[in-house]
Each structure stands twice: as C-alpha cells, then as structure tokens.
Amino acid sequence: MKRYVLVYNPISGHSRVKEQLDYMIDSFERRGAMTIPYRTRLDDTEMAEFIREAAPSGVLAMGGDGTLKEVVTTIVSNKIDVPIAVIGSGTSNDFANHLGVTSDIESYFDRIVAGKTEPSDIGKANDEYFVNVASAGMFTSVAHEVNARLKHAMGKAAYYLRGIGELPSFHPMSLSVIADEIKYEMSAYFFIIVNSTIAAGMKNAAPLADIADGKLDMLAVHECSMKDFVTLAAQVIGGHVRPDDKNVFYIQASRIDVSTDGEVESDLDGERGPMLPLRVETLHHAIRLFV
C-alpha cells in the first residue's frame, strides 16, 4: 500500500484546513493509499525525521505558499528524495494555481497515486529557500503589516486595500541589480523575483516564467507618476503585465543580486525573508512535484 505524509498547517485558509483532513484521508483510502498526518508548528525541527521514518511515496503539502516553502525547505536542506504534492488551502495558493491542480482536485489525487511527477526549480535567497517568489518594496511591507483578522476576513483583497492606503506616503527604492553578470540601476517601487507566472494572487505577473527552465523572472515597477503607477498596478493585479511597458523592468536570469540603500526587508513565499542585499539563485530541478 502506498503511503503519504500529509503535512498540514492548522491555521491556514482561515483554519478550515482541519475540516478538510477527513476528506483528504478518505480520498486516499478510496484509492487504496494511506495518509500519515503531520501537524506543522513554530520552529519545527522534527519534520525531516518524521518523513524519513515514514518512508512515504510522497509528501502532501496542505496549506498556503508558506506551508509549501516549509516542506520544500525541509526536503531540500535534508536531501530527502521524495516527490511533493501541492494541496493549496491557504489565503494565497499561487503555486498550486500556477500548476492548475486546484480546479479538479479529485483528478489530481488520481495522478498523485499514479505517481505522475515532473521536476521543478526553486529559488534560494541568501541562505533561505523559496518555491515561488522573493520580493521587496511596497507590497512586501504592506503584506507584513496587514492585520491578521483583516487577512482572515478578506483574504488577498486585504493586501491591495492596505496598499492603496499607503500610496501617498510610499517612496521608491534605489536598486542595484546584477543579473547573470549584467548590471542595472533603477529607482523602483517594488520588485518580485518569481518562479511561476503567479505572484501575490496576481495572474500572469511574470508571463514568461517557466518553473523548470533554470531561470527566475524579475519584475520591478520603475518610479513614475502616480497616475501611471495606479494604472500599472491595476494591470499587474489584473494579470495584464506587458514586459515591454516603459514603467516595467523585466528580465530572466539564473542568478540575481539585488541591493539598495537603507534597510529593506524581503518576503519569501509570503513569509518574512532576509534583509537586502539578496543573492538569489535558481536551483534547477531541485524538487519533484506531483502534477
């Protein structure tokens, strides 16, 4: 009998994940497979040993992008060779949505049990791993300041509402970027370095992205008039980014170094990341995903 470690975050998705556990267990039992639940916790140091002892056919990461980051970090840093299923149940499930596995979850379960996998890149920012996005600037600071109750009540819309309120007081950053040894200088409101096409719920934020091409896509919004910024922000949120827009900086690279003046905190997959400067590298085909 195939068995899967089901790693779940008990507070993801407005804490609805606990209600979904029985459905998950039943779904795999009906397919002749066993699930072994593992509950994440703060400062978790036991997940790697749990996975090794279980010797599963795969790990089911059930939560948001932050939960997936935690699972991937555990597997990669401990060199555990096991495929990962992305079961999106958080406030933002960008990577799951990019994979297209949220629209027909029962079919996805069939593919998991059948063992259908493909390799995927991940990113490394300084000494930390991320699966989908590293960012800094306006929306990053907003995401870290959004009240938890507002986030739970409104989901991703809470970030955008808070961001609109911050527009009058926000100042651009002076960025120095070295991408595959080519240097760029710019003044930008924010940047994202993304693995998939979706970031912060924004569909097609990186329209050229491919999770297995050995590169990450960087998008930054240049300093511009408030009118142009609002128009461009609406396009980004609506998934209509044009890489050739005069106010957009867009590149693809396997290694990207980003620095700025002053203290600026990054965000990795929706969690607080290291302070800039960042050295961001693509780890080509570092993991296997059930698809």
Name the nearest CA neighbour of 6 among 29, 31, 35. Answer: 35
pLDDT, position 227: 86
Question: Quick check: 121 and 281 in contact, CB under 8 A?
Answer: no
pLDDT, position 154: 45
pLDDT, position 55: 98
pLDDT, position 167: 59
What confidence tier does 138 reach under pLDDT thresholds 50, 70, 90?
confident
User: CA–CA distance from 46 to each of 39, 58, 75, 215 (Å)?
Assistant: 10, 17, 12, 32
pLDDT, position 203: 82
Distance between CA atoms of 235 and 204, rounded to whole angstroms?
Answer: 10
pLDDT, the chain, mean: 88
Distance between CA atoms of 206 and 242, rounded to whole angstroms?
Answer: 9
User: Is pLDDT larger for residue 44 or for residue 120?
Assistant: 120
Q: Residue 169 forms beta bridges with which residues?
A: none
Question: Quick check: 67 and 269 in contact, CB under 8 A?
Answer: no
Encode pLDDT of 154-166 as tens digits. 455 445 445 555 5
**Sign of the alpha-carbon dihedral angle for 92, 66, 253, 83:** negative
Question: Quick check: 64 and 92 in contact, CB under 8 A?
Answer: yes
SS3 17: helix
Encode pLDDT of 78-113 as tens digits. 999 999 999 988 667 899 999 999 889 999 999 999
Show me where the domains of the chain are located. 2-115, 128-284
Q: Which of 30-44, 167-181, 222-236 has the highest mean pLDDT?
A: 30-44
Phi, psi of 180, deg, nearest 5: 50, 50
pLDDT, position 157: 47
Tokens found for residue 228? 């142009």
Name the nearest CA neighbour of 262 among 191, 172, 146. Answer: 172
Question: Whole-prediction pTM value?
Answer: 0.88
Distance between CA atoms of 248 and 223, rounded to whole angstroms?
Answer: 9
Question: Quick check: 76 and 282 in contact, CB under 8 A?
Answer: no
Question: Quick check: 272 and 128 in contact, CB under 8 A?
Answer: no
Q: Which amino acid is at 205?
A: A
pLDDT at 145 over 80: no
DSSP annotation of 90: S
What's the CATH fold of domain 2-115?
Answer: Rossmann fold (3.40.50)
* Region 29-57 average pLDDT: 96
Name the nearest CA neighbour of 207 among 240, 256, 169, 246. Answer: 240
Pick 128-284's CATH classification: 3.40.50.2020, 3.30.2320.80, 2.40.110.10, 2.60.200.40: 2.60.200.40
What confidence tier does 150 reach under pLDDT thresholds 50, 70, 90?
very low
Encode pLDDT of 237-247 as tens digits. 677 778 888 99
